[in-house]
Amino acid sequence: MAQQIPITPQISNWKLFFEILGRQVSIRRSLWWLFLLLFVYVVLVVSEPYFYKLFVDTLQSSIGKPELFQQTSVFFMQISALWIVLVLLSIGTFTLYDFAINTLVNTDWKAFSLAASRKMMCLPMDYHVSTNIGERQKIYDRGIDTIWNVAYTVYVEVLPQILIFILLLIFGFYINPLMMLISLFVMPIGVVISMTVGKRAHMLQKNVSDLWDKIFGRFGDGLTNLGIIRLYAREKHESEIVGNMIDYTSDKQFQIRKLWCFLNAGGKLLEFIWKVGVTIAWVFFILHGRMTLGDLFFFVTLAGRIYSPLQTLENSYRNIIKFLADFSKVRNLLEMSDEPNSGSKIFTALEKSLTYNHLTFSYPSNDREVLRDISFEIKKGQKVAFVGHTGSGKTTLTQLLTRFYEPISGSIEIDGVDIREFTLESYRSRLAAVFQDTTLFNDTIRHNLEYVRDGVTFEQIREACRQANILEFIEGLEKGFDTEVGERWLKLSGGEKQRLAIARAIIADPEILILDEATSALDAKTERLIQDAFNTLMEGRTSIIIAHRLSTIRHADRIFLFEKGEMIGSGSHDELYASSPVYREMVDYQKNGFVEEKENTMSLAET
C-alpha cells in the first residue's frame, strides 16, 4: 500500500516535557556530580539571609554597651570576611555548574539535531511534496532549538530556584514556623492560577505556531518564485498576502500575551495582599516579643528570596509552554515512519530485464488512481521511451522505479526479483536520472560532480565532463572545477546545468538511466550538444526516455504509449504510427517539427 502520513495523537505537556529531558543523555549520565555542585551553590546562597539576622541581633545587643564595642567590631569583621568568601564561592560554583551544563547540553543538542536531520531525509517523498520547504525548515529549526532551550531553562534557571525555594522554606520553618506559614499564605492561589493560565496558553500557542509555520512557508514560496512576482509586478500583492497572514497570526499571538498580562496583574495583586498580611504579622510579633529585629530582617530577606524564585519559575514556565508547542511538531516528524526499506538483497546489476507487473498506483494525498494495471517489459540495454499527453502517468512510472513511492498493487521486478526486496542504498546507487529542471548544491562544481560516488578521482571527473561536452567550459572558468554554483544556480545557463547533470550521471555509472524531459527547454544548438552527450551516456545502459518532443525518441528500441494512466500501445515508431490513432495524431501535430529537427534527432544506437 502507499505510504500514509500518520496523525500523531494529542499528548500531555508533562509527557512532552519528560520526553525532552529524556533526550538529555549526557546530563543524565553526569547528574550526580552536577547535583552535588548545584547543592553546594544553593546552600551558599540560602545562608545569606542568616547573616542579616546575625548582624542585626548583634548590633541590637550592643546598643548602649560601650564595653562590647571592641568585641562587636571584631565579630562584624569576621562575619563580613566569611560572608565575602561564601559569596565568591557561590559565584565560582555556579559558574562551573553553568559551564558544565552548557557543555553537556551542546553534546545532546548536536546529537538530536543530527537525528532530526537524518529523519527528515528518510521521510516518505509524499511528505516533502505535500509540505512547503520553508515550513519544514522552520519546524526543524524550532524543534532542535527546543532541546537546548528546555534543558538550559530547567537545569540553569528552574532547578536551582526550586532547590533554593525548598531550602529557604526549611530554614524559615526552623527559625519561626508560624511566621513562615503566614509568609506563604497566598502561594497556593498563585500556583493554581499559573497552572490554569499556562494550560490555556499552551493550546493557543500550538495553534499560533502552526500559523507562523505557514507564514514562513508562504515567505519561502515568495523567495523561490521571486522572478514570477517581479515579472508580473505582483510585489504589492504578495506583500498583502503575507501581511494579512501576519496580521491574523499576530492577533492570535497577542491573545496569549494578554493572558500573561492578566496573570502578571493577578500576581501583583497577590503580592500586595501578601505584603499587607506579613507586615501586620511582623508588627504583631515584634510588639509581643515573639520576634527580634534580627528575625524581622531575616524574614524580610527570606520573603524576597522565596518569591523571587517563584517569579523566575513563572517566567520559565511561560517559555517552556512555548518550547513544548514547538517540540510537539518536530516530535510528530520523529514519530512518522521512514520510507519503506525492508529489503535485504543487494542489487548489483540488471542481467536480463526490467518488468512492470500489473502496476496500480495513487498518490497518498489523493485517492484518484494515477496508474491502472500497467504491465510491460524492458530488456537489458534497451533504450525505450514513455510517450503520452500531460498527466498520462509517464513521470509517475519513473518515480515508482526510483522507489520514491510504493505501488498500491502489482510490482516492478528486475530479473524476476521485486525491487522492494533490494536495500534502498544498493538499488538507488545503480540508478541515475537527468531531469528538465536540474538541481545542484550551492557549492563548487567539483563537489556537485563527486557527490554521487564515493572515491571518484579527479581524472574520472574530467573524463565524465569531456564526454558530457562541458569540460572546455569548466576549465575556461577562472576557478575551474572550484567555481561555486550560486543560489538557484543563476550562474549557469540551462544547457550548462544539463551537461553538468549528464556528467554527474556518467560518474554515477548507473545500470538504469532515466531522462525526463531533459531537453525540452533548450535551443536547437544546445540541444544538439546535449543529445550527443546523451548518446555517450546511454551507451550500453538500459535507458528510459520521457519526452513530449517526439523527434527526440523516434529511433528508440521501443516506445510505450500511455493515456490517462493506462498503457494503450507499444512498439517502434513506425509500428505505433501505423496502429495507434493517438500516437499518429501526436506525431502529425509535430510533423513540421520532425522536418526542422531531423538533423538534431537523438541518434540512438541500434541494439
**Tens-place pLDDT, residues 314-337:** 778 777 877 887 888 888 888 888
Residue 593 pLDDT: 45
What CATH number is associated with residue 156? Answer: 1.20.1560.10
Residues 450 and 555 in one domain: no
Angstrom distance (rounded) from CA 406 to CA 362: 9
Residues 328 and 399 in one domain: no
* Cell of residue 184, nine digits: 506563604
Is 9 a member of any domain?
no
Measuring CA to CA, which residue among 400, 379, 380, 396 is closest to residue 388? 396
Give tens-digit pLDDT for 123-158: 888 888 777 777 788 788 888 888 888 888 889 888
Higher pLDDT, 195 or 98: 98
State percent of the chain over pLDDT 70: 82
Alpha-carbon distances, residue 512 vs 39, 343, 351, 550, 559 (angstroms)? 65, 19, 11, 21, 17
Confidence at 62, pLDDT banded by 50, 70, 90: low
CB count in 10 Å sphere of residue 36: 11
Angstrom distance (rounded) from CA 215 to CA 252: 13
**pTM attached to this predicted model:** 0.69
Is 475 a member of any domain?
yes
Residues 189 and 253 in one domain: yes
Among 509, 528, 547, the domain boundary falls at 509
Residue 164 has pLDDT above 50, yes or no: yes
Measuring CA to CA, which residue among 508, 159, 190 is closest to residue 320? 159
Question: Do the Cβ atoms of 411 and 418 come closer than 8 Å?
Answer: yes
Section 513-542 average pLDDT: 74
Residues 502 and 392 in one domain: no
Higher pLDDT, 303 or 492: 492
Reduced to 3 states, what is the DSSP secondary structure of residue 373?
Answer: strand
Residue 482 has pLDDT above 60, yes or no: yes
Residue 592 pLDDT: 52
Residues 190 and 291 in one domain: yes
Residues 371 and 487 in one domain: no
Residues 499 and 522 in one domain: no
Residue 179 has pLDDT above 90, yes or no: no
Section 543-550 average pLDDT: 84
Task: Look over the chain and give the mean of its residue pLDDT values, rounded to a whole number.
Answer: 80
Give tens-digit pLDDT for 373-421: 999 999 999 999 999 888 889 989 999 999 999 999 999 999 999 999 9
Among 316, 335, 354, the domain boundary falls at 335
Residues 319 and 461 in one domain: no
Residue 196 pLDDT: 74
Residues 527 and 546 in one domain: yes
Residue 285 pLDDT: 75
Is 54 a member of any domain?
yes
Is 1 a member of any domain?
no
Reduced to 3 states, what is the DSSP secondary structure of residue 560?
Answer: strand
Among 481, 509, 537, the domain boundary falls at 509
Is 138 a member of any domain?
yes
Angstrom distance (rounded) from CA 605 to CA 590: 23
Is 6 a member of any domain?
no
Residue 598 has pLDDT above 50, yes or no: no
Residues 306 and 395 in one domain: no
Residue 602 has pLDDT above 60, yes or no: no
Residues 529 and 425 in one domain: yes
Domain count, the chain: 3
Residue 360 pLDDT: 94
What CATH number is associated with residue 461? Answer: 3.40.50.300
Is 601 a member of any domain?
yes
CB half-sphere exposure, 175, CA atoms < 13 A: 25
Residues 515 and 579 in one domain: yes
Is 71 a member of any domain?
yes
Confidence at 161, pLDDT banded by 50, 70, 90: confident
Range(s) of the domain holding residue 479:
441-509
Section 93-122 average pLDDT: 88
